[in-house]
Amino acid sequence: MQIVSGGVSDVGRVRTNNEDSFRIVEPMNLFILSDGMGGEAHGEVASAMAVEAVEKFCANPEAHKEDSGVTLHGVVNDTWGPQTKMLQNSVFQANFDIYQSAQKHPEQRGMGATLTTGWLNGTKLSIAHVGDSRAYLLRAGSLQQLTNDHSLVAEQVRRGILTPQQAEESDMQSVLLRALGANPEVDVEVDEVEVMPRDVVLFCSDGLTRMVTEPEIAGSLQAETDPASAAQKLVDLANERGGLDNVTVIVVRVQDETKGWFSWLRRDTGKKE
C-alpha cells in the first residue's frame, strides 16, 4: 500500500501561543501529535519533548536497551507485534523525560501533554495514546474514533453519569485523568488496527473536536482527497467556528499501490504516443 499524509498546526483565534506539536516521519510511516498543557508552565516545551522522545525511541530502539531510569512496563497483549510494544515503550520514555525535566526546572512544574501516535507497518496500524487528543478511522464514509478520551467528562459518560450532550456543554472538559509528565509513570492506551486501501486515518488535538462535529469531519475528509489540503480545511473550519484553542490535524490516506502504479504507467504511455 502507498501512504500519503499531511499535517497542519495553528494557534487558533484566541490563544497567543501554540502549545501543540506534531511530526510526520515519512520514511517510518510514524505519526505523532501532542497537545501541551501548562500555559506559562511551558506546555509547548512538554509537547515538543513528547514528539521528540517518541521519534528518537522508535528510530533507534537499541539506544534504549540500557536502563535510562524509565520503567518500560505496562499491560502487554501477546498478540501485539514488536512495533506496537516499541511504540508503547516510546510513550513511557516521553512521559519520563517530561516528568524529569519538570523536576529539574522549577519553572516547568505543572507542565504536561497529551500524546496520540500511530505507526503503520504494512496493513497494521499501531496506536499509543494518553489524554484527549484523538485518532479516527474513516472507512466507506463511516468515521470511527480509535482512542478513548482520558478526561473526567468522558469517564462520566462511560459510567452513565453524563450524557454525551451534557459532556459537550460541561465546563470540566479540559480536566484530564491521564497526561504525560504528571507522574513518573503513566498508563498508556495501546491498540492495533488493520487498515485497508482507501482508509483515512486522522490524528487531531481537541482544538478540532471541540469546534467541529464528527459528521463535518467525515464530510471534509471525503470531499478533499489530498491529505495536506484536508488537514488545512479542517483547521480552517475550527477557526471559523471560533478557534478557541490551538488546533492540529494529521491526515493519513491509505492507497492501493498497484492502482497507483498502473495509473502512472498509463500516464507515461500517453506521453510517449
Domains along the chain with CATH numbers: 2-272 (3.60.40.10)
Q: CB under 8 Å to 185, separation ≥6 — which residues?
A: 71, 73, 92, 95
Q: What is the mean pLDDT of residues 184-196?
A: 95
Q: What is the pLDDT of residue 273?
A: 35
* Residue 69 banded pLDDT, cuts 50, 70, 90: low
> What average pLDDT does the segment 255-261 reach?
66
Residue 33 is predicted with a pLDDT of: 98
What pLDDT score was predicted for residue 53? 96
Q: Tell me, what's the pLDDT at 268? A: 44
Residue 271: predicted pLDDT: 39
B/e letters for 147-175, b = 16+ CB within 10 Å, e = fewer, are bebbbbbbbbbeeeebeeeebeebeebee
pLDDT at 71: 54
How many angstroms separate the CA atoms of 43 and 36, rounded? 4
pLDDT at 82 over 80: yes
The mean pLDDT value of the chain amounts to 89
pTM of the model: 0.90
Identify which has the larger pLDDT, 256 or 142. 142
Asked if residue 237 has pLDDT above 60, the reply is: yes
